[in-house]
A and B are shown apart, each in its own frame.
Chain A
Amino acid sequence: METTLYLARRLLQALAVILIVTVVVFCLLHALPGGPARGILGPQATAQQIAAFNHEQGLDRPLPVQYVYYLRTLLHGDLGTSYTLNDAVSRLIEQRLPKTLVLTVLSALAGLAPAIPLGMWQAVRRNKPADHVVTALGFVAYSTPVYFLGLLLILVFTQTLRWFPSQAPQGDTLSQVFADPVALVLPVLTGAASMVAVFSRYMRAATLENLAEDYVRTARAGGSRPAAILWKHVFRNSLTPVIAMLGYYVPVLFGGALVVEQLFNYPGMGLLFWSAAQSSDYPVLLGCVLVISVATVIGTLLADVVQRIVDPRVKAERT
């Protein structure tokens, strides 16, 4: 019962947050020179055309009325039309988003795979030199701008060793992306580096917390081997909350993809966004912002709910 109430409240909150995001995007749209009319008619439209369009679309009506109108078009999946690419924004995002998801999911996996054992190992050897060394390396990885790391990887692995190409797989379909797995290596590694730093830190903290629990002491007193306790109990109890942290990590993943796609020329949503910023293609920019925000809200919601279910002692941090 309590959980149901909690779920209902969190869902309502998430909806409220998404509504606020749409207000922000709506305001940005109206802060643009020319307003939304420019967004649809394009930068060459004359003042008369804009005035006629505004009247026709009800854009000369009060802002709150327009906001409701805007929300209605959003609910129909209409994000406007790109200035430069001559296509519906929703269609562009539909094409590009899967490729960004491939990149981010692979990066997340490539980051988590070493981070989980590394964090446990650090926890077991806490405050020994090895722990300090890994922590320090994590600090460096976290403090390195993603594009600088990518650049260094290109210099070493493309320019010097010639192992991997400096350009990510091209092409519009996912099968074209997977047809060239070697070209995915550097972009995925670049995206994964800070994940290793962050998630090994989480895993270290979660493992330490679990090692201090009563059940560990009881198992130890009962004669279980430390390795068995670690892998059978501590590992499982630490893993779920750490995986759930991925939900909070959605905006960072998208931010990373933005940089990685730009650096490796990978035609996903990040590159779409970046080129839209270069050409002031506002409908594309704001459409992407909306999609990413909704993804972030959903990620946060999932993470909150999973953590709550895994560990009912965790009280909701927000009101």
Chain B
Amino acid sequence: MTAVLRASSALEPVAGYRLPLRRFAHNRPAVAGLAVVVLFLLFCFVGPLIHPTDQTHTDLTQVNLAPGGARLLGTDAVGHDEFGRLMYGGKVSLLVGLASGVLATVVGTVWGAVAGYAGGWLDAVMMRIVDAGIAIPALFILLVVSAITTPDTLGLIVVLGLVSWLVPSRLVRAETLTLKSRDYVLTLRAIGGTHGRAIGRHILPNSVSTIVVAATFQVADAILLVAYVSYLGLGVQPPSTDWGGMLSAGLTAAYSGRWWLIVPPGLAIILVVCAFNAIGDGLRDAFDVRGRG
């Protein structure tokens, strides 16, 4: 889905001038978001070491157990421990979300910087391609891809990254447009510096706050997109899973009252996506950069 929610909340002027880091530290939702992300990373990547469970083999003597006792969140229809599965699936969700969010930001940054810096017809053509990409909703493209092939985790990261770089490219282009007429860039060009140097040494480093904020929102969107993709059947294949896959696997079970198969992964997705959005909001206000959209 797109990131229309973060239109602009930075309307309130920030009194005085403080360092971005301190401003971020004073933003309670952002700090809470950071804590949630750290906790989930520990839970999913360190958790399985403390609470090891078998997530590859089925155990038909232990199916559909209700939460309680050693089975903190019960078991699913093939006997997987649901608490352990939440860690196991979260690994994939977080990994794919983070990696594809970063990939999308990198691709978008390069595209936007080149378009904005070049200007003229090249800029016009590159930005029309971005418009066309935005006109085809990501979910639909992903389903077409799923009809053609079933990607593995790496493939999934690449596909998700390649459908979601468009918004960051617009932001970075806008930033580049304002930066390229700054004196230091003009001076560099006048003394014979290359275009690559102008982009690499001046424009990108000066856009870093915009890029970091965009990346954070991008990760939030990517985690949500991964969940949709798994739900619609293009996700990682069993026995591997992610939170979205757990949700669709628990669908019929939930109808017959086994809520513990869908509520934990659902809440995990909401919490993590909220957390990344809160961090993005906090960073944007701290760096005082324009929202995206």
Contact = CB atoms under 8 A, between A and B. Distances in A.
Interface residues of B, number: 53
**Most chain-B CB neighbours within 10 Å: which of A249, A292, A319?**
A319
A: contact size bracket? 35 or more
A208 interface: yes
B2 A252 contact: yes
Most buried by A among B135, B227, B257: B135
A17 B137 contact: no
Interface string A139-176: 11011111110011011000100000000000000000
A159 B2 CA distance: 32
A140 B36 CA distance: 14
B50 interface: no
Nearest to A259: B228
A201 B138 CA distance: 23
B128 A282 contact: no
Given A31-B148, A198-B5, A255 B140 contact: yes
Interface string A1-43: 0000000000001001110110010001001100000000000
A145 B12 CA distance: 30
Contacts of B251: 151
A142 B47 CA distance: 28
Interface in A281-319: 281-282, 285-286, 288-289, 292-294, 296-297, 300, 317-319
A101 to B, nearest CB: 16
Nearest to A126: B12
A46 interface: no
B106 interface: no
A243 interface: no
Interface of A: 13, 16-18, 20-21, 24, 28, 31-32, 126-127, 135-136, 138-140, 142-148, 151-152, 154-155, 159, 194, 197-198, 201-202, 205, 208-209, 245, 248-249, 251-252, 254-256, 258-259, 262, 273-274, 276-278, 280-282, 285-286, 288-289, 292-294, 296-297, 300, 317-319
Q: Which 5 A-B pairs have the closest CB atoms?
A: A20-B132, A143-B273, A251-B137, A277-B143, A148-B266
